Amino acid sequence: MQKRTLGKSGLEVSALGLGCMGMTWAYGAPGDHAELVALIRHAVEIDVTFFDTAEVYGPLTNEELVGEALAPLRDRVKIATKFGFALDPQSGRPVGLNSKPAHIKEVADASLKRLRTDHIDLLYQHRVDPNVPIEDVAGAVADLVKAGKVKHFGLSEAGAATIRRAHAVHPVAAVQSEYSLWTHGPEKEVLPTLEELGIGFVPYSPLGRGFLAGTFSADTQFADDDWRKTNPRFQADALRKNAPLVDSLKAIADEKGATPAQIALAWLLAQKPWIVPIPGTTKRTRLEENIKAADIALTPADLKAIETAVASHAVAGDRYDERGMAMVNL
């Protein structure tokens, strides 16, 4: 697979990474551990070099999975993880935000142990903490960089002003936010800011949490432990209203001899050379399907057709509930 560099950071990764969150968290019961280890290692064999995890996924168990899978292959990959949540000591569940410098350093040390490595290639602040100045956050990560524990600093779901303030203290290598054919929020302010400053962009949920792959309908029943069960965009009425978007994408994909998921990923890759999507999956067939999107060259006519189709379908439902929306783009 072709490689891409995240902005001016020098952090070179595969054009498509692998988001590992759904392997242990958010989308139902975790999969078979041995099969997931094999899946991650297979990703490396087919040239994926960028893997995304976080302390809060699981919580903790996702980093352990990624660490176990990649330990024998560590010199061939880049690992990104995140800090920024306070976890309940009893349940382990997130109970709020915490980006105090001392906490950041504690989390980084714990993540290093779970990941079975001596350095984190890209450490993101998972969500902006309004109670801690972003300058203090950047300073704490700068200390970790000086100590050799972290190579690059990133932000997730941060707004343009926050990105500028952080970057002034320590270079931000990449920003990770939701971006796809049904989530265009970063286009107005964030992407122009990143281009100006030379910062890379990592779209998460590039397939709309599976929706853009055409796998759901208004009749889909989500398990009680699947986060989408209560997500506004995955309610039956919203799925019904959003279905025409996927139908349009399928028509374009058929003309290209591709799948809707591949077209959605190829569209993202065509936006900027410093964009690296991280689709997630627990299935080898889906992994291989997604990776082939890097080989699809979309013409200007293709891009216009895709964007015209998207523009004709208003997306129903917020991407998070009220609490989740309060923690993005700060």
pLDDT, one tens digit per residue, over 14-36 is 999 999 999 999 999 999 999 99
In angstroms, the CA 230 to CA 279 distance is 21
In angstroms, the CA 294 to CA 312 distance is 26
330 assigned to some structural domain: no
295 assigned to some structural domain: yes
**Beta carbons of 85 and 55 less than 8 angstroms apart:** yes
CATH of the domain at 246: 3.20.20.100
The distance from CA 65 to its chain's CA centroid, rounded to whole angstroms, is: 17
Q: Look up residue 214 and give its amino acid.
A: G
- Residue 62 tokens read as 């996702």
Q: Look up residue 41 and give its amino acid.
A: R
145 assigned to some structural domain: yes
The number of distinct structural domains making up the chain is 1
Q: What does the angle CA 271 – CA 263 – CA 172 come to, to the nearest 5 degrees?
A: 35
**Beta carbons of 253 and 262 less than 8 angstroms apart:** yes
Q: In the beta sheet, which residues pair with residue 287?
A: none
206 assigned to some structural domain: yes
Check whether the bond before 244 is cis (ω within 30° of 0): no
- Residue 255 tokens read as 């003309």
52 assigned to some structural domain: yes
**Beta carbons of 282 and 36 less than 8 angstroms apart:** yes
DSSP-derived 3-state class of residue 258:
coil
Per-residue confidence at 323, pLDDT binned at 50, 70, 90? Answer: confident
**Beta carbons of 165 and 137 less than 8 angstroms apart:** no
Annotate 74-97 with DSSP letters as a single string: GGG-EEEEEE-EEE-TTT--EEEE
Q: Is 124 one of the catalytic residues? A: no
Q: In this model, does residue 326 exceed pLDDT 90?
A: no
Please write the tens of the pLDDT for every residue from 130-163.
Answer: 999 999 999 999 999 999 999 999 999 999 999 9
Q: In this model, does residue 200 exceed pLDDT 90?
A: yes
Identify the active-site residue in 57, 124, 179, 204. Answer: 57
In angstroms, the CA 180 to CA 187 distance is 10
Q: In this model, does residue 222 exceed pLDDT 90?
A: yes
60 assigned to some structural domain: yes
Give me the half-sphere count of Cα atoms (radius 13 Å) on the Cβ side of residue 80. 31
In angstroms, the CA 236 to CA 232 distance is 9
DSSP-derived 3-state class of residue 309:
helix
Q: In the beta sheet, which residues pair with residue 122?
A: 80
289 assigned to some structural domain: yes
249 assigned to some structural domain: yes
Q: In the beta sheet, which residues pair with residue 83?
A: 125
Please write the tens of the pLDDT for every residue from 94-141.
Answer: 999 999 999 999 999 999 999 999 999 999 999 999 999 999 999 999
Phi/psi of residue 183, nearest 5 degrees: -145, 105
Q: Look up residue 65 and give its amino acid.
A: L
Look up the pTM and report it.
0.97
- Residue 249 tokens read as 């994408």
Full domain range(s) for residue 146: 3-325
In angstroms, the CA 148 to CA 222 distance is 43
Q: In this model, does residue 330 exceed pLDDT 90?
A: no
